[in-house]
Amino acid sequence: MADLSRRKFLAGTTAATAALTLGAPNVAAQKKGGTLRVMPHADLKAVDPIWTTAYITRNHGYMIYDTLFTTDASLQIKPQMVEKHTVSADHRKYSFTLRDGLKFHDGQAVTAEDCVVSLSRWGKKDALGKLLFAATETIKAVDRKTFVLELGSPFGLVLDALGKPSSNVPFIMPARVAATSENEQIKESIGSGPYRFVKDEWQPGNQVVYVRNGDYVPRNENPSGAAGGKRVFLDRVVWRHIPDAGTVYAALEAGEIDYWEAPGLDFIPRLEKNANLSVIVTDPRGNTGWLRPNHLHPPFNNKKCRQALLYMIDQDTVLQGGLGQSKYFQSCPGYFLCGDGLPYQSAAGAPAKPDFERAKQLLKEGGYDGRPVVLMDPTDYPTIHGPTLVMRELLQKGGLNVDLAAMDWGSLVTRRAKKEPPPAGWNLFVTWWISADAMTPAVNAGLSGAGDKAWFGWPTIPELDKLRSEWVRAVEPVRKKQIAEQIQLLAYDEVPYVLWGQFKQPTAFRKSVRGVLNFACAVFWNISIDA
């Protein structure tokens, strides 16, 4: 059984915000019908949430797929598709039984075999999934609604893995679709989730259309985060992609769209003043910003040069210049974030303040020869573009010869996968993750030191992976905290990546939109529109 004390520790001070839905708590009062017009944070380019970790594809996944377990608003793991599950006394054998009435959009019932194949595909891609399957001996369906997972070695995070809230989420697909190689995109988008994907009306770059899945059987519980009953009140949800933030702002105010997932922080003061709009932060834990160096090639294959980065990147400057509204950001020295509900926050090992002279000195010690350092810049992604430009100035000031490579986010995602040295490859790029993807050593992909097999940047820090395995195996919270701090100290020494700040992303929507849920990702069930 999952470690209840650990869950309680996580819940901690977020108990006050736990299981709260915003808007009408009384389900019966929510009006049925209508179309919700959403401006999502990005354009949906790929539809396979296992093939890519892109958040927009994950959101798409939440619309049309369902998961075995999921996380609620206080990050507790709750069953979703699973009716009941049992764990053997030695914690080695897990048995899961599905709920009744689960059907795919093509009418076929969801079977245990579908789950096994879907999980196997997910387990080949996802960081936590890989850890799970490395410890798994067998996983197979026992009958139509039950499957069994047998561990070969101890692994305490089985349910955490199956209920993982963010990329990659173990969505359940039909076995024939999940049989696709994990290096190819799936061709059909059939799930068992609360909405269906209307492929005929999909216009990439313009709109994505979802309609209510009338066959969906929600759990008989109140919704909380992604857990509980996923009741759908709307007829349609349309994701309209509008390239101009200024136009989106005008459209929201004019009532041409209903919901803006990620407004630029500069718009927030005006949006807050508008009496027709609500502005809330659906994920109070926030996001963490990373500057990721390429450990394969000079200069950042040298530890001293990486450490130099620590003295150049001043979080306050980057946040203020790149994002703007101080109400929604804070500097945070913790690799596992800071704030309520974040158990591994720590300031251990962080440099006291920026020091450009020290940075230049470290560069010299690291043997930096003045060669151009390629910093990739996604001009179409304001949350990253702003900080990138500010960091460029800081890096230049710190003595680096920065070559700013402007491109779009899609191209960046492609280019960051290249292991060649620049100019074809890269030296630095900027990104961010939601707290759920970085707050523990197990989920944090950037803290893996597995070299070639690690996340883009490919740090080779075997000590880091040893500590991570230790953390996974550890059981007491005190010991886990200790190890986490050791990991952080090591991170400040080896610098797998540099932190540039922690920030929250508010969401804005019209007051007539009710039932918006508090969760790390934008989800669209439980939402209704008043007349």
Query: Edge-to-edge, what's the strand order for the sheet holding 507-510?
Result: 195-197, 207-212, 236-240, 35-39, 259-260, 507-510, 277-280
- Minimum distance of another protein from residue 172's CB (angstroms): 21
CB nearer another protein, residue 229 or residue 372: 372
- Minimum distance of another protein from residue 429's CB (angstroms): 13
Distance in angstroms (rounded) separating the CA atoms of residues 49 and 189:
10
- Minimum distance of another protein from residue 276's CB (angstroms): 13
Q: Do 115 and 172 contact (CB within 8 A), yes or no?
A: yes
- Minimum distance of another protein from residue 281's CB (angstroms): 20
Sign of CA dihedral 87, 93, 97, 103: positive
Length reported for the chain: 531
Residues in contact with another protein by the rule CB under 8 A? 43, 45-47, 51-52, 125, 181-185, 187, 202-207, 240, 242-247, 249-251, 253-254, 256, 264, 266-267, 270, 317, 320-321, 324, 377, 379-380, 382, 385-386, 389-390, 392-393, 404-408, 410-411, 413-414, 416-418, 424
- Minimum distance of another protein from residue 522's CB (angstroms): 20
Picking from 83, 181, 17, the residue whose alpha carbon sits closest to that of residue 517 is: 17
CB nearer another protein, residue 113 or residue 380: 380
CB nearer another protein, residue 10 or residue 131: 131
Distance in angstroms (rounded) separating the CA atoms of residues 187 and 208:
16
CB nearer another protein, residue 249 or residue 433: 249
- Minimum distance of another protein from residue 258's CB (angstroms): 13
Q: Burial level of 26, CB count in 10 A (0-12/13-18/19+)? A: exposed
Distance in angstroms (rounded) separating the CA atoms of residues 157 and 245:
40
Q: Which amino acid is at 167?
A: S
CB nearer another protein, residue 35 or residue 379: 379
Question: Angle 102-107-111 (CA atoms, 0-180°, nearest 5)?
Answer: 45
CB nearer another protein, residue 205 or residue 214: 205
Sign of CA dihedral 193, 195, 197, 202: negative
CB nearer another protein, residue 97 or residue 320: 320
- Minimum distance of another protein from residue 321's CB (angstroms): 4
